[in-house]
Structure 1
């Protein structure tokens, strides 16, 4: 196992993050330096990265923002959900995952484990994501008359048929909220996106966790992530 450092992101990380973006995403999907800078400046406690300590390379980045249910429903696409902007509307207890980029599965686990104690301390209850469905195009070739949301809900051996939805399912994002056409450019998904939701484990005890010291919550983080995987 390679040594990994997991922490909140800083402006000094931009170059490493750009390399990760360019490795993981196509040109029209990758964030540029101004996007990354704006996210870190606007949401410093919701921008997290995992780095290979031997090389300094960024292995995983996770960017989130507060969002209200009304904002989530009114946004027609990913850009509307992910836009970095000030809002007069109370966001409530929900987050939207702007971006999860990774080249290493272990570091994804490390990032989520890192965040859970802070999420409980702050009072966050759930996280929404917009996911591509890379198996949709091939499925539509076989089922041209069926709508995309049929595929989105299809299960195989108790897991989502789509490989990306299956990946997020195993990370705790098990509730499908909406199927959105023209959500973001992704040819294999026919530009559809699935809006999915994951509940932060033990967040129902919100009033309690605000009074628990953060170091104690950090000691619980391995247990918290196991709850995500088994709930």
Structure 2
């Protein structure tokens, strides 16, 4: 299987995301569900406020996406993206920096302000939803900032160790940090930079890592630009099913 398509492929014997979850763009009507998810997964310092969530939806409505349970309608995952300069990671040092940088006129890069989930099927549905739009708009790379929830314990056990050693450490070919391992399984395997004081997260000692993945099939950018979005969706839909 093409590694670039890995995050679009569910594991064997697992239902496809579109059987368990439906993704769509978020609206103000989703704010109560978004707040509930934020406070379930983040503490009071980390969680976005209602005003912040509203602003994210209003600023980039096409890049504010939620995945909902196909049966109950419960919010399973949310994803907020924004366009950034292709070299934004050189000047942005904190998560807040990444969210405040001015949006460039043209870019091939998106930054994930927030990816929050209570179900992996929801995460899969989010990326299946954004894939054809990313191809049509010419976006090639998506960045996410990851915490390092195993760092504090590792540093306690290795008092002379360096953060870089932990970030790049692997076991059986996979990162030892559980969050890096999870994002790597979704295609975000490229470690671009390690940021000190990136985001308040006690177990990560406030460190974060910027990760990058390439949008599958984005190398054929001129082709996607020449056809309609409906055509892009028709092309990508069976590819997901055949993986």
TM-score, normalized by the shorter chain, greater than 0.5: yes
Decide whether the 8 Å contact of 2:151 with 2:205 is kept in 1.
yes
Partner of 2:55: 38
Give matches, 1:5-84, under 5 Å: 5-83=22-100
Give matches, 1:100-179, under 5 Å: 100-179=115-194
- Cα deviation 1:21-72 (Å, max 9, x = unaligned): 1111111111111111111111111111011244332110000000113433
- 2:113 maps to which of 90, 93, 98: 98
Which shifted more, 194-203 or 54-63? Answer: 54-63
CA distance in 1, matches of 2:144, 2:214: 12
Which shifted more, 23-32 or 45-54? Answer: 45-54
CA distance in 2, matches of 1:99, 1:129: 8
Q: Can you give the 5+ residue segments of structure 1 that lack an aligned partner in the other structure?
A: none
TM-score of the pair, normalised by structure 1 = 0.91
CA distance in 2, matches of 1:67, 1:14: 25
Deviation for aligned residue 1:224 = 5.3
- State the SS of the aligned residue for 1:62: strand
- State the SS of the aligned residue for 1:19: helix
- 1:193 maps to which of 183, 205, 208: 208
Q: How many positions carry a matched residue from both structures?
A: 225
Greater length-normalized contact order (CA 8 Å, ≥ 6 residues apart): 2
- Cα deviation 1:91-136 (Å, max 9, x = unaligned): 5100000000000011110110111001001100001111001111
Deviation for aligned residue 1:226 = 7.9
TM-score of the pair, normalised by structure 2 = 0.87
Q: Does 1:184 align with 2:203?
A: no
Decide whether the 8 Å contact of 2:147 with 2:207 is kept in 1.
yes
Partner of 2:4: none
